[in-house]
Structure 1
Amino acid sequence: MAIPDRVITLDVEGNPPTSPYLKTGGNPATSATWSIPTQHDSDGQEVNLDQYLPLYRAAFSGNWEEASKFLDSHPDAAKARISDLSMTALHVAASEGHSEFVEKLVKRVPSDVLEMQDIMGFTPLHYAAIGGSPRSAKALLMENPKLAQCVDAKGRTPLLLAATFASENKELVWYFLLVTTDEAPGRPFTGDWAANLVNVLIASGFLEISLYLLHLYPELAIAIDQDDCTPLYVLASNQSYFLSGSRLGFWESCIYSFLPVEVHSRPPHSVRADVARYHGSIQNLLAMPTPEQYGVLHGLRRTLFGAIKRIAPDQFTRLHDAKLSHHYAFELVKRICFQLSQTHISWRFNRLLKSDILYIATVNGIVEIIRTLLESFPHLIWVCKNSTDQYLLLPSAIELRHEHLFRAVYDKTARSKLMATALPESRDTILHLAAKLAPLPQLSSISGAALQMQRELQWFKMVEKIVHPYYKESRNKNEETARELFTKEHKALAESGEKWLKDTSNSCMLVATLIATVVFAAAFTVPGGNDNEGAPNFLEKKSVIFMVFVVSDAVALFSSLTSLLMFLSILTARYAEEDFLYSLPRRLIIGLATLFFAIAATMVAFGATLSIVLSNKFNWVSTPITLLACFPVTLFALQQLPLFIQMVRSTFGRSMFRHKKLR
């Protein structure tokens, strides 16, 4: 006679894990129906789970005192299945993250109980791995090291689950990697889930662990998982892993290049010590090369970084970790390309072209991947095409506004000229692509609508230079020339740029007018007054300080008036498209620069005035006055300097489209 089953419906997020007991119906992403077999003891008698309810509650809440009392009166309960999901008390405590409870309970049960699996095939160690609990994992593995090799109903080891779900605990993943061996039934490094392991490690941000694993098992660099995904595809899908895909602020960009990093994918010393202490030997310890000696300059940079880090530890640590990740990701790409070079050419190009790796890397603007692939396989650039049989790299770099990619793939060669003149079915030339409005992420990386409009014009003008004159007036399928398309696409941006410039000019004019009024009046009411002949009283007595006042007052007046005229010219400009390229940015640069000089000179004049007036009785007043006068000037510089330098570089600096050879 068949044993009746209980049926429970569980609401879950995402796709629930498959199991021999899982029956799905309706929408599999929102609900799943589990057919739960009734629990029986060793004699085949049905077990009343209600008798274990106190133990379940104690394990669920981590109350060891209540659990200990129950186990004293029911010794066999420690290895009993106390829930409809065939979970033991150890399963429940580990799943809820009660590490202290787990540590005490493992000492009261036989080691084979630790290997018991619930309805999904999870051991308590699987739950500790998913929850990211190092204490529970170490306690379980100390009592039964074989747990690291146990697999769930899908064949997944605790290492794979930790890499998937415990992305916040890197040291736990290192720990599992060092205590896990490539043995049956899981074979985590060469079996069915090996490719998933390296892909999940990369996707979770464990780049140094991934690099370490590829040193151990080089063939994993080109392994393909169940979803037809490779490590290179995962890297190409994550922009933040590379410098070209990261959006650093002005000050972050200035600091980034000076940060010292030492790239070596080795387990942390604390993890190696734990493994050696608990397990005697490390299973997967590879003798990695030690970091190279970087010399005196690197030592000075490390010392300086350590000192500055104390000022803003969070910001500097985050930036340092980002730079370290960029180095690890680049090393992974190079190792993958090397492994690809060992494969047959037909397999290699099928994987690269049919898996959309190049397309994803191009869309995300990850130049490191594109450049490394082209350096390893130069002829790949001729076969990089999209679904419309159009060359991929150059048009995509223009349409998506990836200037780093543009510099990497374009030069004045026959290949570039052929790619520039290839027409797709839509009849859009690359000039039409440059005429389209840039994607929002690219626009938002530039401050101010006016500068955004300038950058769009720079793209259009640059592409216009490389397009053959025959195609400049060609029309697309909508019968629009590139210039007509540019005007239509950028109409709203031009209006926003006009409004931004006018608002900025009005605000700055108010400050410039105030400064001009004050310093003009100060020129006729000099400190100390005038004598009977109209000469300043301090002209001879305080000649040096008085001359500082006179010069700074004159500089402030002339600078403020110049700034006022520049901002006035912006307000009265015609705001044609071409004006956003040079005319308007140039006026704004001159206006901001002279306004800064006016503010600085005003503060100097103010400090000189107070020094003259108060020096007879308060000689010490000069130092604090100087420091206080520097504060508003420094504050203004810190706030406006990033925008100012960006404008200067964009208007007067070297072209961002300067050619850059790959080799």
Structure 2
Amino acid sequence: MSSSSGILGSIQLNSISQHHQIHIPSASHSNSPQPRPLNLPRQDLLDDGRREEFLEICFPLYKASMAGDWENAKDILDKRQELVRFSINRNNETALHVAAYKGNTFFVENLVRLMENEDLELQNSSSNTALCLAAVAGHVKVAEILVNKHKALIDITGCQEKMPLYMAALSGKKAMVKYLYKNSERMTSGFWTDESRGRVLLACVEAELFVFLSDGYDGLVNEGNQAMELLRIIWGHIMKLSKTKIDDMVRGHPDQITDDKYYSSDVLFVAAEMGNTAFIVELIRQYPEQVLALNDNKQSIFHVAVTHRYRGIYSLLHVLGSMKESIIDLEDENGNNMLHLVGILSKTTRSDYLLKDIPGPAAQLITDLAWFKSVCAMLPPSLREKKNKAGIRPRELFNENHKELVARGVEWTKKISSELMVVAALIATISFAACITFVGGYNQDTGKPVFTDNKHLNSILLSNGVSFILASTSIFCFLSIISSHYTETALFRVLFIKLAFAMTFLAESIIFVIAAFSYNFILLFPKKYIQSQYLLTTLSYMVSFLFLYWLIGRQYWFLATIILDDKFLPPKRILF
């Protein structure tokens, strides 16, 4: 990973809620400390001439360290306590390395009592101390034991000169990052440089360790308050530097030192690619000019958000005021405007999380259709039909790249329609038969139904009749979907609307069938069994609601969401 040098300077924080003092001397790149010589454990028992001794002692100790079996390990160490500083495998790991990575807290707690501080500093072949391995694995309890024994371990680098805190951030271990940051004197010791601090911040952005805001920005998660407050403090002090220095900090090192420089480690665009809305909101509040920043492809963070389908970032456009006009007019190096980007599919393009219960192709297509409509409404008419450098309009690009999704989505829709049509046919058959077959039979003298004068019979006939009509209507809708030949994405939207109506009619027909079923119980059961009537009626409704939950809860409301397009409403909270 490329580093963002100089983003953080010397930081002194007693508590987020108390007085803060942050000193950022300059944006220049600090020189990294010279790598320390590798501090390996003793390797006496790894010699080929002592193979039998290795198998007799080291191998059992290794197995005990892996399993957290302190009793067996103690039996071995009681005989030869010097083994705590010996390599017990070919990776030059001590028993502490192995147990720390596995998170065997009880084992580590007892083992460190037999070790000196120098023993805890031993490194394996990858230069990692036991604390480094615990940091990567996220075992906070193990880290607490090691740091309480020898606090200097926090400042001993591991693989590729990475601090344990940095390694925890790279691994996305939030609890470990919080613990090590608190105990590292807020990264102010002499072992920390501007570059290493910058790396930690960038790693936190990439691991989404600062993402504690919801998509609607309704509030902060409690445990994230300190992290967000820290970010505000850092940026508040960075803002005191010159614009050139701030831009250098945000942009980071170039990937290639040639005539053309590429900055893939730009903190702002890393956050945009990860969908880190909270970080971007805070940065824009502190440094509003960054909304106009462009990456190497001449795209703004909002163009990146459209490419990756992050509506939390994209929706910020609604609250930028006049700056929005400058952003929506931008075109990238290929002449693509924001609407072109909606039509481009890539591996990083994701389906909306609200549609997680819908199969992939349909979810992606539904999401992209909503995105296209939303972005199209925001752009001026002149850009909606503007060609890129390849001579392709946005709609043409969208249709071309979504052909396969349309085909797969139509296939999924027709499959669902076929399955539901079977259910609708069964409901129609049952309700039709119930309409012409009267409860209790006919009076042999008059030829009329026995329960003609009973008010519940009319309710039964009405419920069955309405159910038959609704089920028949849904069958016609499903047949219309199955026999359709939609290929264009615009017509595919009509297909989903038809499916929504068909599902609605089917759901209502089931409700009326259950109603007729309930009236039958009331009509036939004697009054003394009224409790049985209520019980059977309740059970019948419960069964029907299970089906309706699947039908409506998982298949219907996503269509209503797309029809209403309420997913792309502006956020309630303003930036400034």
TM class by shorter chain equals 0.7 to 0.9
Amino acid paired to 1:352: V
Q: Which residue of 2 aligns with 1:375?
A: 285
| 1:621 corresponds to | 532
- Measured after TM superposition, the shift of residue 536 of structure 1 is 3.2
**Do 2:135 and 2:176's aligned partners in 1 also have CA atoms closer than 8 Å?**
no
Conserved? CA contact 1:59–1:93, under 8 Å:
no
Secondary structure in structure 1 of the residue aligned to 2:163: helix
Shift of 1:395: 1.0
2:237 to 332, 336, 342: 342
Q: 1:94 to 1:117 in 2, by over 3 A?
A: same
Taking the TM superposition and a 5 Å limit, the aligned residue runs for 1:245-260 are none
Change (3 A) 1:515 1:394: same
Change (3 A) 1:179 1:601: farther
C-alpha distance in structure 2 between counterparts of 1:170 and 1:406, whole Å: 37
Shift of 1:651: 0.9
**C-alpha distance 419-240 of structure 1, shift in aligned 2 (>3 A):** same
Does residue 206 (structure 1) correspond to residue 207 (structure 2)? The answer is no
Report the CA distance between 1:595 and its aligned residue.
Answer: 0.8
Question: Could you tell me which of 452, 456, 472 is aligned with 1:561?
Answer: 472
Deviations 1:337-384 (A, max 9, x none): 42343346355543322233222221122212212222233232233x
Preserved CA contact (<8 Å) 1:121 1:151: no
Q: Does the aligned pair in 2 maintain the 1:188–1:194 contact within 8 Å?
A: no
Asked if structure 2 preserves the Cα contact closer than 8 Å seen for 1:221 and 1:335, the reply is no
Q: Distance in 2 between matches of 1:589 and 1:239?
A: 37
Cα 1:529/1:228, change in 2 over 3 Å: same
Alignment of 1:390-405 (within 5 A): 390-405=298-313
Structure 1 Cα separation of the partners of residues 449 and 86 of structure 2: 97
Check whether the contact 1:567–1:588 (CA below 8 A) recurs between aligned residues. yes
Mapping of 1:85-96 within 5 angstroms? 93-94=64-65
In structure 1, stretches of 5+ residues that fail to align are: 1-17, 23-35, 41-45, 63-89, 247-252, 264-326
Contact residue 393 and residue 409 of structure 1 kept, 8 A: no
2:100 aligned with 1:129: yes
Deviations 1:241-298 (A, max 9, x none): 847899xxxxxx9xxx99xx984xxxxxxxxxxxxxxxxxxxxxxxxxxxxxxxxxxx
Change (3 A) 1:194 1:379: farther
Inter-partner Cα distance in structure 1 for 2:160 and 2:346: 41
- Contact 1:420–1:430 (Cα < 8 Å) also in 2: yes
- Determine the structure 1 residue equivalent to 2:84: 114
Question: What SS does structure 1 have at the residue aligned with 2:234?
Answer: helix
Taking a change above 3 Å as real, the CA distance of residues 60 and 617 of structure 1, as seen in their structure-2 partners, is: farther
SS in structure 2 at match of 1:529: coil
TM superposition shift of 1:393: 0.8
Match of 1:353 in 2: 251
2:85 maps to 1:175: no
Which aligned pairs between 1:599-638 and structure 2 lie closer than 5 A?
Answer: 599-615=510-526, 620-638=531-549
Which residue does the alignment assign to 2:345? 437
What secondary structure sits across from 2:151 in the alignment? coil
Contact 1:462 1:657 survives alignment (8 Å):
no
Choose from 200, 205, 210 the match for 1:236: 205
Tell me if structure 1 keeps the 8 A contact 2:352–2:367. Answer: no
> Counterpart amino acid of 1:137?
V
Q: Deviation of residue 209 (structure 1)?
A: 3.2
1:514 pairs with 426, 431, 439, which one? Answer: 426
Q: How many angstroms does 1:416 deviate by?
A: 1.5
Q: Which residue of 2 aligns with 1:278?
A: none
Distance 1:457 1:578, change over 3 A: same
Deviation, structure 1 residue 599? 1.5
- Cα distance in structure 2, aligned partners of 1:482 and 1:622: 61
Instruction: Note the C-alpha offset of 1:96.
Output: 7.0
Note the alpha carbon deviations across 1:312-357, whole angstroms, 9 max, x for none. Answer: xxxxxxxxxxxxxxx54x7435424423433463555433222332
Question: Which amino acid letter does the alignment assign opposite residue 49 of structure 1?
Answer: R
Q: In the aligned structure 2, how far is the partner of 1:441 from the partner of 1:180?
A: 46
SS at match of 1:530: coil
Deviation of 1:49 after TM superposition, in Å, equals 2.0
Shift of the 424–155 alpha-carbon distance from structure 1 to 2, 3 Å rule, reads: closer
| Residue pair 1:340, 1:348 contacting (<8 A) in 2 also | no
Provide the TM-score with structure 2 as the length reference. Answer: 0.76
Matching residue of 2:259:
none
Partner residue in 1 for 2:575:
662
Bigger shift: residues 202-211 or 637-646: 202-211
Once the 2 structures are TM-superposed, how far is the Cα of residue 551 of structure 1 from its aligned partner?
Answer: 3.8
Q: Is the 8 A contact 1:400 1:439 kept in 2?
A: no
Deviations 1:401-438 (A, max 9, x none): 21111012444633111111122321112221122236
Q: CA deviation at 1:566?
A: 3.0
How many aligned residue pairs are there? 513
Q: 1:146 aligns with which of 117, 132, 136?
A: 117
Match of 2:330 among 422, 434, 446: 422
- In the alignment, is the contact (CA less than 8 A) between 1:232 and 1:333 conserved in 2? no
Structure 2 Cα separation of the partners of residues 574 and 628 of structure 1: 42
TM-fit CA distance, 1:203: 3.6
Distance 1:600 1:579 in 2: 31
How many Å apart are 1:522 and its aligned residue? 0.6
Task: Quickly say closer, same or farther: Cα 1:427–1:369, change in 2 above 3 A.
Answer: same
Measure the CA separation in 1 of the matches of 2:127 and 2:55: 30
Change in CA separation of 1:610 and 1:359 when aligned onto 2, cut-off 3 Å? same
Q: Which has the higher contact order (CA 8 A, sep 6+)?
A: 2
Distance 1:382 1:58 in 2: 67
Residue 442 to residue 92, structure 1, CA distance change in 2 (3 Å): closer
What is the distance in 2 between the residues matched to 1:217 and 1:347? 27
CA contact (8 A) 1:406 1:657 kept: no
**Identity, % of aligned positions:** 20
SS of residue in 2 equivalent to 1:474? coil
Q: How much does 1:567 deviate?
A: 2.7
Is the CA contact 2:410–2:492 (under 8 Å) kept in the aligned structure 1? no
Render the CA deviation track for 1:46-75: whole Å, top value 9, x for unaligned. Answer: 99525xx2x54344564xxxxxxxxxxxxx
Task: Tell me the amino acid that sits aligned with residue 513 of structure 1.
Answer: A
Partner of 1:387: 296
1:608-659 per-residue CA deviation (whole Å, 9 max, x = no partner) reads 3245334478655324422431343122123231331211122125252435
The answer (yes or no) to whether the contact 2:308–2:349 under 8 Å persists in 1 is no
Deviation string 1:6-46 (CA, Å, 9 cap, x unpaired) is xxxxxxxxxxxx98799xxxxxxxxxxxxx98779xxxxx9
Aligned partners of 1:19 and 1:49: how far apart in 2? 27
Q: Report the alpha carbon displacement of residue 191 of structure 1 after superposing the two structures with TM.
A: 11
Match of 2:75 in 1: 104
The equivalent of 1:75 in structure 2 is none
